Amino acid sequence: MSAHPAPGAARRVSNFELLFDLVFVFAFTQVTAIMVHGHEVDAGAALPVLEAVTVLGVLWGVWTSYGWFANQAGFDRPLLRLGLALAMVFIFVAALAVPNAFHAVGADARSAIVFVVCIAASRVLHAFLMFRAADGDPGQRRQILITDFSSLPVTIAALLVGALLGGVVQVWIWFGAILLDAAIVAVTSIGGSWRIHSPSHWAERFNLVVMLALGESVVSIGVGVASRPLVWQVVVGAVLSIMGAITLWWLYFHRISGGAEHALAARAGTARVDAATVGYTYLHFPVVTGIILTATGIDITMQAVASPAPLGWFGAATLSGGIALYQAATAFFWWRLTGGWLVPRLVVAAALLPGIVLWAALPAMASIAIAVVLGIGLNLVESRMLPKTAAEPPTTVEPAPLPAP
Is residue 1 included in any domain, yes or no? Answer: no
On whether both 186 and 208 belong to a single domain, the answer is no
Name the β-bridge partners of 310.
363
Asked if pLDDT for residue 141 goes beyond 50, the answer is yes
Mean pLDDT score of the chain, rounded to an integer? 90
Give the C-alpha separation, 111 to 91, whole Å: 13
Full domain range(s) for residue 112: 13-195
How would residue 404 be classed by pLDDT, with cut points 50, 70 and 90? very low
What value, to the nearest 5°, has the Cα angle with vertex 317 and ends 313 and 320? 130
Q: Which helix (H) or strand (E) holds 99?
A: none
pLDDT per position as a tens digit, 143-195: 999 999 999 999 999 999 999 999 999 999 999 999 999 999 999 998 888 99
Same domain, residue pair 133 and 216: no
Is residue 119 domain-shared with residue 258, that is, in the same domain? no
As to burial, measured by CB atoms within 10 angstroms (0-12 exposed, 13-18 middle, 19+ buried), residue 139 is middle
Give the burial class of 161: count Cβ atoms within 10 A of its Cβ; 0-12 exposed, 13-18 middle, 19 or more buried: middle
Is there a domain that residue 228 lies in? yes
- The count of domains in the chain is 2
Read off the pLDDT of each residue in 362-372 and give the average, rounded to a whole number: 95
In this structure, the answer to whether residues 117 and 60 fall within a common structural domain is: yes
Q: Of the candidates 139, 163, 195, which is a domain's last residue?
A: 195
Q: Do the domain assignments include residue 121?
A: yes
Indicate the residue among 155, 178, 195 that finishes a domain.
Answer: 195
CA nearest to 96, candidates 175, 172, 21, 31: 31
| pLDDT at res. 283 | 97
Quick one: which of 336, 339, 324 has its CA closest to 374? 324
Q: Tell me the pLDDT band of 5, cut-offs 50, 70 and 90.
A: low
Quote the percentage of the chain above a pLDDT of 70: 91
Task: State whether 161 and 22 are in the same domain.
Answer: yes
Q: Beta-carbon neighbour count of residue 387 at 10 Å?
A: 9
Name which of 115, 135, 114, 3 is nearest 54 in CA terms.
115
In this structure, are 215 and 189 located in the same domain?
A: no
Which of the pair, 226 or 201, is modelled with greater confidence? 201
188 and 226 co-located in one domain = no
Q: Is residue 7 part of a domain?
A: no
Instruction: Indicate whether 401 belongs to any domain.
Output: no
pLDDT band per the 50, 70, 90 thresholds, residue 310: very high
